[in-house]
Structure 1
Amino acid sequence: MLPPTLSDDQSVPFDDRGLAYGDGLFETVLLRAGKPVLWRYHTARLAKGCHRLGIPLPCQQALDATWQGGPTAEFEVLKLILTRGSGGRGYAQPDQVTPHLLSRRTPFQPSVERWQKGVAVRLCDLQLARQPRLAGIKHLNRLENVLARQEWSDATIAEGVLADSEGLVVEATSMNVFWQRAGEVLTPQLDQCGVAGTLRAALLEHGAIALASLSLHQLANVERLWVANSVQGVWQVTKLFAADGSLLQSWPLSQPDPFQRLAHQLLGVT
């Protein structure tokens, strides 16, 4: 049985568990000419999240139906939200789980200027809590990221870098973090917290990056630094600021950037 799909003009039920408790998952997918980019990785992460949370996974036909249809722009973003549905008393789930699947497509324009000129990022004061059962999946409770993003309003700062309660670099507020050390491109393990991005998954599968740990105080000493996700692509970091606004490190812009070029090839961007 397909889960019910709530279209854009329908309201989420008051007793929807995603609204009440963040009891659900979401995916943000880049569409190019109407086709989803890295779709296999998105559906695999959604399946992993459903397994972790015990939510029935929609069939492939229902998932594919969310993006099928003519494109409205060269680039679009498809957002999928899957909740456990309605019902249950308090935190107890209902006896019969009927998930709600919502989707929306919106036109999107990637920031080519940030690809070409790099970005400035800052460290965040907020520390991510460790919870291995939620690590890696894209669950709906993103309050830590919301609070971290409230820490700055300066439009020249593109992202904030987050560490966990042990002081290890985890991610940016909405992107994964990558750095170069001894010529090798590395990224955090994400086995305690954080979102395992689909572009990150593709890069790992292609052997372009390796997993490693990096403490926050070591971040300013890396050879190069990037933030990236499957929608925005790869941004080279040229300046790193502390939470108090002081400059910690700057890196020269590297053109061409082999890491960015490979990642963008995976996204179908030339």
Structure 2
Amino acid sequence: MNARLDPPTVGIKPLRVVIDGRNQDLIEVIDRGLQYGDGLFETIRIHAGQPCQWRRHLERLMLGAGRLGIQPPDPGILEAEVLSLTQTLDHGVLKLILTRGSGGRGYRPPESSAPRRILLTYPLPPDPEPSWRTGVRVRYCQTPASMNPALAGIKHLNRLDSVLARREWSDPAIAEGLMLDPSGALVGGTMTNVFLWDGNRLLTPPVEQSGIAGTVRALTLELAVQMGIDCLETRLAPADLEQAHGLFLTNAIAGIWPVRELAGQRFDLNRLPWILLDRVQQSAHTPG
């Protein structure tokens, strides 16, 4: 028995779907990704037919597979499938899903399973603002982010925290919502990592207990160090954001989102370290 992969409710249909190297859009209903969220995913920007930041995405996928005990795909085969799928796509989005595969009822994974690779391509979504330089409006979410060090950092399929948080607003002028953990510490956005600029240093929440180790987050930290900008992964609370010189968000598809307003508080975008932001934005959208 099979289940059809329905397009997202927002109406954006996938351009193509490839499952285990074949053009098809059906999976077994007993797939453990569907049954239990037993799997991983990566969302990758496509530029000129090539996946951007591919190495970072692949490394995180392999890290997650090891964490969950899922047999990872052969990197060469996976890359060949990705390039075959994206080579005619000038700009777009690739969603890569890896599940443990099909299994019987019950949480215990089968002794042996055949992991399933699902690749979907989408058109590039329109930016919520005319330009990434104009900044975005952001709010806080009431839904708390879960804390679990066994799952923190990786992009597992259990994203109900973000689903519930994203349901909290429908105003298209609000680009993102920030989530706190149960103790009130900042974790990140529903789909972004958060950076605070205090005028001298970059500060960002750690991802050892909660949140996602974003690919552009890693790129930002790496480039900042190369440019001699101090970086600190530390606990942040809303009070820290209120005192910040500036904020920006990172995401594999958008790259950089400078924050011009958070929960009614305005930020002067001119106070951000644009020499770093420009370089991150350019590198985030570079294939490789």
The equivalent of 2:255 in structure 1 is 233
Moved more, 87-96 or 130-139: 87-96
Judge conservation of contact 1:34–1:67 (CA < 8 Å) in 2: no
Judge conservation of contact 1:161–1:169 (CA < 8 Å) in 2: yes
TM-score normalised according to structure 2 size: 0.85
CA 1:166–1:256 in structure 2 vs 1: closer, same or farther (change >3 Å)? closer
The equivalent of 1:214 in structure 2 is 236
Task: Write the deviation string for residues 234-266 of structure 1: whole angstroms up to 9, x where unpaired.
Answer: 11111111xxxxx2x111232882232021121
3-state SS of 1:128 partner: coil
Tell me, in whole angstroms, the C-alpha distance in 2 between the residues paired with 1:218 and 1:165. 17
How far off is 1:67 after superposition?
2.0
3-state SS of 2:29 partner: coil
CA 1:187–1:114 in structure 2 vs 1: closer, same or farther (change >3 Å)? farther
Tell me, in whole angstroms, the C-alpha distance in 2 between the residues paired with 1:63 and 1:47. 12
Tell me, in whole angstroms, the C-alpha distance in 2 between the residues paired with 1:56 and 1:66. 18
Tell me, in whole angstroms, the C-alpha distance in 2 between the residues paired with 1:62 and 1:106. 21
CA 1:219–1:91 in structure 2 vs 1: closer, same or farther (change >3 Å)? same
**1:66 paired residue among 81, 88, 94:** 81
How far off is 1:61 after superposition?
1.7
3-state SS of 1:130 partner: coil
Moved more, 68-77 or 153-162: 68-77
Tell me, in whole angstroms, the C-alpha distance in 2 between the residues paired with 1:196 and 1:72. 30
Judge conservation of contact 1:200–1:229 (CA < 8 Å) in 2: yes
How far off is 1:182 after superposition?
3.8
Moved more, 259-268 or 201-210: 201-210
The equivalent of 1:9 in structure 2 is 24
The equivalent of 2:97 in structure 1 is 81
Tell me, in whole angstroms, the C-alpha distance in 2 between the residues paired with 1:186 and 1:7. 44
TM-score normalised according to structure 1 size: 0.90
Q: Which runs of 5+ in 2 are unaligned?
A: 1-18
Identity %: 42
- Over the residues paired in the alignment, what is the CA RMSD in angstroms? 1.9
**1:120 paired residue among 132, 137, 158:** 137
Question: What does 1:150-229 align with in structure 2 at a 5 Å threshold?
Answer: 150-206=167-223, 207=225, 209-229=231-251
3-state SS of 2:161 partner: helix
3-state SS of 2:94 partner: strand
Q: Which runs of 5+ in 1 are unaligned?
A: 242-246
Judge conservation of contact 1:88–1:95 (CA < 8 Å) in 2: no
3-state SS of 1:174 partner: coil
